[in-house]
Amino acid sequence: MVGATVVAPTPPPPRLPVEGGLSFDVRDAQTGKPIPCKLTLVGVDGTPDPQFTRVDIGRQEGDGAIAAFNRIMSLAGVGVAHVPAGTYDVTVSRGPEWEITTTHRLKMTPRGASVIARLAHVVDTTGWLSADFHVHAARSPDSRVPMQDRIYEFVADDVQMIVATDHNVISDYEPYIRL
């Protein structure tokens, strides 16, 4: 046929992965009050590690939480995050002064799953501060991490003082901390 146009078949649209809501409730073992925390998910039994993001920029999860790489960082200690269906070991932490706990082989289904953790403060640091004296964020040309995401990261790990060392600019975390 002269002048006939060959039309390639249209590929099917991409499919989103099946997800469920991972609810979490992390509290101080002594007081029972919710505490900031980090949940680290590692895929097991053939499930890959989740990739909430492929860069350090967090994905907002609501309830004072962000997800980045295979971690969920929460300011509130209580919330819910979207997690791909699969089987995970979920480690809950609060930084080096606190014990950690791991829930093994948590099955995430479209109906969701939950993690409840009570962490004890096991290292007495009365009179001391934890600090990081070399912190870069998005204002520095060698980082893409928003300043707000850095705050989530450090609060979840119980770092009480961060020193902005962004290149060629003066950065101030205070306005972000007030949010």
CB 132, CB 139: distance < 8 Å = no
Instruction: Indicate the SS3 state at residue 88.
Output: strand
Question: Do the domain assignments include residue 5?
Answer: no
The CATH number that applies at residue 79 is: 2.60.40.1120
In a domain, 125, yes or no: no
What domain range includes position 69? 19-119
Same domain for 23 and 106, yes or no, is yes
**Residues 97 and 174 reside in one and the same domain:** no
Residue 14 lies in a domain: no
Residue 13 is assigned to a structural domain of this protein: no
Q: What is the pLDDT of residues 13-59, one digit of tens each?
A: 888 789 999 999 999 999 999 999 999 999 999 999 999 988 778 89
Domain's final residue, options 119, 149, 168: 119
Last residue of a domain, one of 90, 119, 148: 119
Evaluate whether residue 1 is within a structural domain. Answer: no
Percentage of the chain beyond pLDDT 90 is 58
How many domains would you assign to the chain? 2
How is residue 14 annotated by DSSP? Answer: P
Domain assignment of residue 152, yes or no: yes
State the average pLDDT over residues 92-116.
97
Q: Is position 48 within any domain? A: yes
SS3 150: helix
* E strand or H helix that includes residue 102: strand 101-108
Task: Quote the distance between the C-alpha of residue 144 and its chain's center.
Answer: 16
Higher-confidence residue of 144 and 31: namely: 31
The pLDDT-based confidence of 3 (bands split at 50, 70, 90) is low
Whether 63 has a pLDDT exceeding 80, the answer reads no
* Residues 33, 94 within the same domain: yes
**Chosen domain end from 99, 119, 139:** 119
Q: Do 81 and 61 sit in the same domain of this protein? A: yes
CA distance 74 to 28: 14
pLDDT tens-digit map of 115-126:
999 999 999 999
Residue 156 has phi, psi (to 5 degrees) of -60, -35
Query: pLDDT class for 172, splitting at 50, 70, 90?
Result: confident
> What is the share, in percent, of the chain residues with pLDDT greater than 70?
97
More confident residue, 84 or 179: 84
CA distances from 117 to 11, 48, 53, 126 (A): 45, 23, 25, 24
Burial class (CB in 10 A: 0-12, 13-18, 19+), 27: middle
Considering the entire predicted model, what is its pTM?
0.85
